[in-house]
Chains A and B, each alone.
Chain A
Amino acid sequence: MAEPATARAWLGGLAAHGRPLILATVSAGVVVGLATIAQMAFLAGIVHQGLVAEVPVEQLSLLFTGAVAAILVRGLAQGLQSRFAARCSRKVRSEVRHQVNRCWQATGPVAMGQISAGTLAREWLDHTDALHGYFARFLPQMILAVIVPLLVLVVVFSLDWLAGIFLLLSAPLIPLFMALVGMGAEKLNQQHFQTIGRLSGQFLDRVRGLTTLQLFGQTATAAEILRERSDDYRRVTMKTLRIAFLSSAVLEFFSSVAIAVVAIYIGFGLLGYITYGPAEDLTLFSGLLVLLLAPEFFQPLRLLSQHYHDRAAAMGAGEELVRRLQSVEAGAQAAQGSFQPQSPDLVSVRDLSLAYDRERPVLDQVSLEVSKGDVIALTGPSGGGKSSLLYLIAGFMQPDRGNISVFGAAPGIQPFGWLGQSPFLVHGTWADNVRLTTPDATDISIETALRQVGLGDLLNNRKSGIYSRITEDGQGLSGGQARRLSLARVFVANYDLILLDEPTAGLDSDSEIYILEALHKLALAGKTLIFATHHQALLTLANRTLLVSEGGVQDA
């Protein structure tokens, strides 16, 4: 289980990866802050010169130029800030996807097959994108919410330290303030997302079962129930939100009151009613500037509270991503033995052991030699280790002990043919699907292979032949047809070794016959075939049948 702390550490590592761009974002934000201070100073200066010193407007052009320059710099820095932020997010997301991809590679096909593809795709797309707001907005703003108010404070203190203290008092300690904002925002966020989630759930549940509701003529009732439930949720949520919104009201209250207090203090000071402290030195320039800067003191905090939900979203997504990434690291350390190459004409298995739980090993000290061109059937009770042996020869899993050499190389090094039970086809044409594993296959070889596995009839119906899309009318292939497509890939690729896991299980009789014929042709072509099966017809195809059970392998 990944704790929030691990997710935080992982996000920290990603931040280090994007550090130059985060620094650039923050720097641009600081420039925005400085330019804003300069703009306000020029404006206050102009007003002071114009009203107090009564300098004609025309003679103030230098100050006006300064103001306009500050404004332009501010706009430019603003644009750059968003540019750097967007780039940073993109870079970080790309890094995360690379990490996820490496994790998938390390996990291997066997373990990957046990996780729902939808879940993995969600991690790849949605969870990774959920990090966007955190890196583009929240993280830079968290730094800016410290720097910019401090800059403002320094200027205000230099103008009038008492006014500076007013500002400081209104936000007694910035961290405390931020915690307050955070707590409120977090609560609000959780509540909001929970409600939205529940409402969506209710809605989707009804939509999913719409046919059933239609069949019983109950759609109107269901709509009414939907409305009632939504209303109930709204009432409950609003009770919590009324309290959660208080935290933003507190921020608003402090900033409004601080501005009011500063304004009244400066006013009285300028009238000469305050005779202690720095008030006597106030001028229209310094007074007005303090007033104009007061909202800028609070603005970064307000932005931070707006971005707080980005943090919650990133933490949520981060926890799940870290859990996935760590699940592999734990597994990967267990594996890795030393490989000893054997003869290039043999698939050689020596002293192979594998146990999922220590009490009952799946394979125990198994040794086996398969010559090039052999057709081997692995049979035995389910759970007896047939599939595990195939996975090990395929290199999809690592053994606990022992050595496997496939034609002189470690398992999985040379390409080989694999036919599992789950169908695999991509959106696109027949040719796309075959070229997925053999990019340089010719049109003729593709068509021949498709006909060899009995998909010729399907091709004949299509105008563009192998260049017509497989799933034209939203109707895919049947399980058997998809498996034959996989077999066509094997035909085209011309592999020496072909591993098949229950190639005929759960198939209609048509597909079964085609697959048997195709395997026979491959055997005649001198390929090495190793398959796990119970199927009698397949067993007769083999020139050697091995019984895998109770951790051992013997000729049957």
Chain B
Amino acid sequence: MRELRPWISLIFRRPGRLLVGGLLILITLLSGMGLLALSGWFITATALTGLLLATGVQASLNLYIPGGGIRFFAVARTVARYAERVYNHDTVLRLLTDIRVALFERLSLAARYRRTALRGPQWLSRLTNDVDALDTLYLRLIAPTALAALVTALLIVVAWVFYSQALAIGLLITLLPAFLVATVVVYLRTRHLVYRQTDARERARTDVIEHIEGFAELTAAGRTGKHAALCLRQADQIARNDSRADTRTGWNLGLAQVMVNLAVVLAVWMGLQLFQQGSVTGPVVVLLPVALLGLLEVYSMLPDAFARLGGTLASAARLNRDCVAESAAGSAASQPPADPRHALELDQVTVRFGDHSPVISRFDLAVLNGEWVNIIGNSGAGKSSLAEVMAGLEIPASGCARRITSAYLTQQTVLFEDTLKANLLIGRPDASDADVWRVLGLVAMADRFTREPAQLNTWLGSMGSQLSGGEARRIALARVLLNEAPLIILDEPFTGVDTHTRNSITADMKQWLGEKTVVALGHAPEALPASDRTLRLS
């Protein structure tokens, strides 16, 4: 359960909301129980009074208080249910925001994120699922469990005060196991089945993707059937674990209900004994068992939530693991150059992944302030790794990189689902509209957006999908050019940009950047602006 601690403390940052939400659920439950219990009392009271009246005995019964009570509970139940659902849904959406923002803040501090392992689409989709598992922790698990315990305790106290000690103990003996069976036992019995499910699913996904990617080769070898059978078995194994967890949950729900129902029978049995001893009246005998029947509603919510707890714990564990804040590791990489005339110094830099041969080996480079340097290399020659080292994103396996403040255009174009202006302001938050238009003019995109009705507020759709690749690239370039850092690192700045446009941009870039230092990396000299110096990676 330790995995959940940070998330629970995050959830409990809104104690007021949780309390009010819990109280509304409690009112809903108690109104439901009250409605039935009071109705049971009322029917018994009227039946007994009616019998007396029929035999001619003078008897009377106050009809207005119980009648009013029944009406009150009926309305209270409806109103409380509605209020509870609206209010708690609001809470869930707030918690969702809290969790996402907190997670984002932690990720942004996590040095690990910068390493490639955590960036694939699979990781992102798993992250979404893991976060979703935590969103409903309060409403599905914490609140119902707390309320079930509270209502159960309340009924036992009522039994103790208004009936007998023996009945209270009897209820404790039947209801405590019922509570455990619906909660802890479900968790323990399904834990091992659901804990590894996400991993198993990811494994199955990887395998089936491999199956699809190798479909041609497998078909040629006449092996698709065999390999598909493997994928089918794997998927069925997952379905089987799901199914076993569901079945166990179902049996536990059944068992918990049996115990609650036995508590009802016990309450009737001992109530009748008390009635015969004359210590309680007939209608009161009916009150408690009918209220106990209402417990079924409370308990039926629990097993399902606890069956998911194993998966929720696994989600929390993964999130904790992936989002460890190690801010120190990130900042250690940033040192100013030893020689003040230099904007960038690479000293015997070696980059390697694992035990593979180094991508870059003992690389030396010193770039003077104001110098323009082009670095040319084939794809796979380690250009991007070198750019990452220069920008401080990658820590070299040996050697060191020192630089003044830099802005870096990554090889991959990253635009956000937001307005054009918001996307550009990431480069310089205090830029004026005039600045933004100027830089758009520089990358030959101003005309494109003066035609748009929303102009700078034009929304860039999913991953900037309204833009062509070349257009998106130019926006990303504009963002870097807007930045005030004196060193600019550009990795393939003109991917997807046609020659004509590229030439017109490079002509204006020199003037725009003025005294700034530029290191540009590309697969061929013609893909880069003219430079003072050109290096070739081999």
- A residues contacting B by CB (< 8 A) are 39, 43, 46-47, 50-52, 54, 56-57, 60, 64, 67-68, 71-72, 74-79, 81-83, 85-87, 89-90, 93-94, 97-98, 101, 104-105, 108-110, 112-113, 117-118, 120-121, 124-125, 128-129, 132, 136, 195-196, 199-216, 218-219, 221-223, 225-227, 230-231, 233-234, 237-238, 241-242, 245-246, 248-249, 252-253, 256-257, 259-260, 262-264, 266-268, 270-272, 282-284, 287-288, 291-292, 295, 394-396, 412, 414-420, 422-427, 436-439, 461, 472-475, 478, 486, 489, 493, 499, 508
Contacts and interface: CB of A to CB of B under 8 A. Distances in A.
B273 A57 contact: yes
Which of A118, A215, A439 has most chain B Cβ within 10 Å? A215
B353 A287 contact: no
List of 4 A-B pairs having minimum Cβ-Cβ separation, nearest first = A82-B250, A473-B354, A418-B220, A263-B39
A72 B258 contact: yes
B155 interface: no
A98 B235 CA distance: 11
Interface string B363-389: 000000000000000101000000000
Interface residues of B, number: 141
B36 A259 contact: yes
B51 A199 contact: no
B431 to A, nearest CB: 12
Nearest to B123: A207
Which of B116, B219, B223, B289 has most chain A Cβ within 10 Å? B219
Contact of A208 (B124, B257, B269): B124
Nearest to A249: B82
A129 B200 CA distance: 14
B254 A215 contact: no
Nearest to B261: A71
B61 interface: yes
B250 A86 contact: yes
Nearest to B272: A50
B244 to A, nearest CB: 8
B354 A472 contact: yes
A401 B104 CA distance: 58
Interface in B138-179: none
A213 to B, nearest CB: 7
Contact of A230 (B75, B96, B236): B96
Given A104-B212, A201-B462, 6 more contacts: A47-B44, A79-B247, A216-B407, A271-B49, A271-B50, A394-B216
A206 B276 CA distance: 71
A478 B380 contact: yes
Contacts of A412: 219-220
B220 A89 contact: no
B85 interface: yes
Given A216-B407, A238-B93, A437 B221 contact: yes
Contact of A424 (B66, B213, B414, B483): B213
A226 B99 CA distance: 11
A238 B89 contact: yes
A209 B423 CA distance: 11
B242 interface: yes
B210 A426 contact: yes
Given A43-B289, A241-B89, A256 B74 contact: yes
Contact of B265 (A43, A56, A208, A233): A43
Nearest to B482: A216
B182 interface: no
B426 A437 contact: no
B360 interface: no
B64 to A, nearest CB: 11
Nearest to A76: B254
Interface in B95-134: 96-97, 100-101, 103-105, 107-108, 113-114, 116-117, 119, 121, 124, 127-128, 131-132
A180 B408 CA distance: 57
The dominant DSSP class at the B interface is: helix
A217 to B, nearest CB: 9
Interface string B259-275: 00110110011001101
Contact of B108 (A79, A219, A461): A219
B285 interface: yes
Contact of B51 (A52, A218, A267, A295): A52
A283 B380 CA distance: 89
Given A78-B254, A206-B416, A71 B70 contact: no
Contacts of A260: 35, 39, 70-71, 73-74
B93 to A, nearest CB: 4
A276 to B, nearest CB: 16
B217 A234 contact: no
B43 interface: yes
8 contacts: A79-B247, A118-B209, A201-B417, A216-B479, A245-B82, A245-B85, A284-B44, A288-B44
B231 A230 contact: no
A113 B40 contact: no
A68 B265 contact: yes
Interface in B382-417: 391, 393, 407-408, 410, 414-417
A291 B53 CA distance: 23
A75 B259 CA distance: 9
A226 B82 contact: no
B512 interface: no
Nearest to B250: A82
A415 B356 contact: no
Contacts of B242: 86, 89-90, 129, 132
Interface string B455-476: 0000000110000000000000
Contact of A121 (B78, B128, B209): B209
Contact of B257 (A75, A117, A214, A284): A75
Given A82-B249, A472-B354, A51 B217 contact: no
B286 interface: yes
Which of A52, A82, A218, A423 has most chain B Cβ within 10 Å? A82
B262 to A, nearest CB: 6
A230 B226 CA distance: 47
B70 A214 contact: no
A52 B272 CA distance: 11
Contacts of A71: 258, 261-262, 265
Contacts of B128: 200, 203-204
Interface in B198-229: 201, 204-210, 212-228
Contacts of A473: 353-356
B49 A199 contact: no
B81 A417 contact: no
A267 B42 contact: yes
B48 interface: yes
Contacts of B89: 238, 241, 245
Given A117-B209, A117-B212, A104 B228 contact: yes
B220 A212 contact: no
Contact of B426 (A218, A291, A425, A489): A218
A195 B93 CA distance: 9
Contacts of B208: 120-121, 124-125
B101 A226 contact: yes
A30 to B, nearest CB: 15
B232 A97 contact: yes
B496 interface: no
Contacts of B40: 288, 291-292
A64 B264 CA distance: 11
B282 interface: yes
A470 B164 CA distance: 72
Contacts of A205: 416-417, 463
Interface string B267-299: 011001101100000100110011001000000
A234 B221 contact: no
